[in-house]
Chains A and B, each alone.
Chain A
Amino acid sequence: MNNPQLNAAGELQHLLSIEGLPRAILTQILDTAHSFVGVTEREVKKVPLLRGKSVFNLFFEPSTRTRTTFEIAAKRLSADVINLNIAASSQTKGESLLDTVANLSAMQADIFIVRHAASGAPYLIARNVKPHEHVVNAGDGRHAHPTQGLLDLYTIRHYKKDFTQLTVAIVGDILHSRVARSLIHGLTTLGAPEVRVIAPETLLPTGVESLGVKVFHDMKKGLAGADVIVMLRLQSERMRGALLPSAQEFNKNYGLSADKLSLAKPDAIVMHPGPMNRGVEIDSAVADGPHSVILPQVTFGIAVRMAVMSIIAGN
């Protein structure tokens, strides 16, 4: 089956998922992001690469922070940005997804940044856009959030340099997490020898080992010797769906406290895709402590998105 993300020359045409991308392309994105970090640190934070191009933010699922970082990234590439917040209502049968895209296409779009509650929606869009149009997945259901995965990989590379020596622990609601899936695919592709998931049974998807991870139910064992700890956000709905009894019990067994953190390597870094639930999955002392790289993650996120857009728009 042809990889829908790559064009005939094997170049990145759409970014839909980290899964299925060759190592060389992941490395290209990270290296290009490295150059863009330089741009974000200087006075004039713009480069003219996407001047005259239109980037449409198609957010079917609301999100201020992700949409804002994409907007900033696109503007720093000198692109024109149009934001469309389409409230997805299952009741109202309004314009179909493809009709929406077709209408925007008629307005000369170059890049669609798509966030949707249904897994696979960006693939449907990518199958139906014109050859010069590109799709970037900003998060689809539980399936993937590739730019988040990439910025997590960038952050890890920034602090730890060599993936092939790392033990990475991802903690929390893996079942519902597109961020976790994307990061796992990235880590395994880039050769991280041990990727662990730490969660109660109810928050692990069936057959999760097939993704190439080691499963831990005991957080203390799972954190032992970890170089990188990634905490996932726990949504309050999970307590209502008979998956967990309470936030308190979750915090006791799966929340990151200073105590549990001390079981990891002394120079371990703590990451979180945000937004954080302080006191649930992570204690404030840790979130604000010296191991936390949560704020730099955000900066790197802009450079990574600039890298993604500039690579695909040129292919």
Chain B
Amino acid sequence: MKTLIKGGRVIDPASGRDSIGDVFIDGERIAALDGAAQGAKADKVIDATGLIVSPGLVDLCARLREPGFEYKATLESEMHAAVAGGVTSLACPPDTDPPLDEPGLVDMLRRRAKALTQARLYPIGALTVKLAGERLTEMAELSESGCLAFTQANVPLDDTQVLWRALQYAGTFGFPVWLRAEDLSLARDGVAHDGEVATRLGLQGIPAFAETIALAKLLHLVRATGTRLHVCRISTAGAVAMIRAAKAEKLPVTCDVGIHHVHLSEMDLGYFDSHCHLVPPLRSLRDRDALRAGLVDGTIDVICSDHTPVDEDAKQMPFAESEVGATGLELLLPLTLKWAVEAKLPLARALAKVTSDAARVLGVKSGRIEPGAPADLAIIDADAPFRVVPEALNSQGKNTPFIGYELAGRVRYTLVDGNVVYASAQK
């Protein structure tokens, strides 16, 4: 099928292009742009006047809750939420039930996702069996099933010996390892950032150095093994500085930040709002500002949603007892646009954090608009306002700290492999 997307503001963060033009799609690929697309015969024409044509978003962490937690969300609901949010590729962590530590489970998940023909799904494999931090998984086998990297998700791996061996083994095959930096004994029982807000609210705190101490350990192991490390969900100013230095040292390190930590801080906990009960915790304004600066200067490579649908019952608990996480697949785009406006950043640079840079870390070909690239696109009305209300969210998870916020940025069309997988009802 040949599709012509006409007259949109085509933004390709990878090349820095931001100009009005046409995109011609032939089958699953982008065939031609602008002038080269003149005269091409299209079966379908999408009028993108006044809209942005962007690579589809690549979300490095979205929990789909299958297998095992279907009462929280299902593949169907979450994949639909993804494309409604302009996300065309997403990586899901292995903290399912059972955890994704066997090729059979990964195969099944990929097949299920493929059958839905919505976004592309890249399950990240478990680093250790059952994520228990003792035995290594069959990483080579998992890689053949489609795992592009290996992780412990939010399950701590505190045994440094095992951590070192796991990194060595992954490095043997050139597999990247994605890890969150948190010292288990310092973070145990903590539910909020150890600072003035936790003191006032009487909540057990997790100090900033729980992250930096663990990160120092990880960086030493990277030096020793040369394995590619992607640090997930950094939250402290200290970690930003350490990554900056690690990159200057030319270590093979990348990192991401959750979209919630780009906008929120411990101040947003208010009167014990359990929608702000997140992992890592929302930290001080100083930390948040350092994260934003790290995004601008390139220290932080990627923004992800850290999408975690939680049923309302599990949130309607006293703060410390509530389940952690926020839903965010559909809000990744408007919240990234909000950050771009606040940081006075050109759209191409801001969108890179959720498209080309994310694709680079994940190791996939999408995330760019150029002839020959997969036709994964999001056609966006960047100014369209909407109110974040539970009914407006496609995800089964309605647990977001942004309930009630007025945001801008709605997806009009999402294409994957050249097919329109989402078209909004509005004109």
**Are A and B close enough to touch in the complex, i.e. CB under 8 Å?**
yes
Binary interface encoding of chain B residues 183-221 relative to chain A, with 1 for a CB under 8 A from any of its CBs, else 0: 000000000001110111111010100000000000000
A140 at the interface (CB under 8 A from B): yes
Interface pair B199/A118, CB less than 8 Å apart: no
Q: With a CB–CB cut-off of 8 A, which chain B residues contact A121?
A: 318
B391 at the interface (CB under 8 A from A): no
A144 at the interface (CB under 8 A from B): yes
Partner of B199 from the list A116, A140, A141, A206 (CB cut-off 8 Å) is A206
Stretch binding the partner chain, chosen from A151-159, A207-215, A264-272: A207-215
A96 at the interface (CB under 8 A from B): yes
Partner of A141 from the list B195, B316, B320 (CB cut-off 8 Å) is B320
B35 at the interface (CB under 8 A from A): no
Interface pair B201/A120, CB less than 8 Å apart: yes
Interface pair B199/A120, CB less than 8 Å apart: no
A98 at the interface (CB under 8 A from B): yes
A123-159: which have CB < 8 Å to B? 123-124, 128, 140-144
Per the bound structure, the CA–CA distance linking A205 and B317 in Å amounts to 24
State the interface size on chain A (CB cutoff 8 A): 27
Q: With a CB–CB cut-off of 8 A, which chain B residues contact A120?
A: 201, 203, 271-272, 318-320
Per the bound structure, the CA–CA distance linking A178 and B201 in Å amounts to 10
B313 at the interface (CB under 8 A from A): yes
With A120-B319, A206-B205: A211-B270 Cβ-Cβ less than 8 Å: no
Chain B residues in contact with chain A, CB under 8 A?
Answer: 194-196, 198-203, 205, 207, 270-272, 274, 313, 316-321
Q: Which chain A residue shows the least CB distance to B198?
A: A206
Q: Can you show 7 pairs from A to B with CB atoms below 8 A apart?
A: A98-B316, A120-B320, A141-B203, A141-B320, A205-B199, A206-B194, A210-B199
Chain A residues in contact with chain B, CB under 8 A?
Answer: 1, 4, 19, 96-98, 116, 118-121, 123-124, 128, 140-144, 178, 181, 205-208, 210-211
Q: With a CB–CB cut-off of 8 A, which chain A residues contact B272?
A: 119-120, 123-124
Per the bound structure, the CA–CA distance linking A141 and B199 in Å amounts to 12
Interface pair B317/A124, CB less than 8 Å apart: yes
Q: With a CB–CB cut-off of 8 A, which chain B residues contact A19?
A: 200
Interface pair B202/A144, CB less than 8 Å apart: yes
Interface pair A119/B320, CB less than 8 Å apart: yes
In the assembled complex, the CB of A192 is this many whole angstroms from the nearest CB of chain B, namely: 18
Interface pair A143/B201, CB less than 8 Å apart: yes
Interface pair B196/A119, CB less than 8 Å apart: no
Q: Which chain A residue shows the least CB distance to B191?
A: A119
A123-B271, A124-B272 known; 16 new pairs, CB 8 Å cut-off, are A4-B271, A98-B316, A118-B317, A119-B202, A119-B272, A121-B318, A123-B272, A124-B274, A140-B202, A141-B318, A178-B202, A206-B207, A207-B199, A208-B199, A210-B196, A210-B199
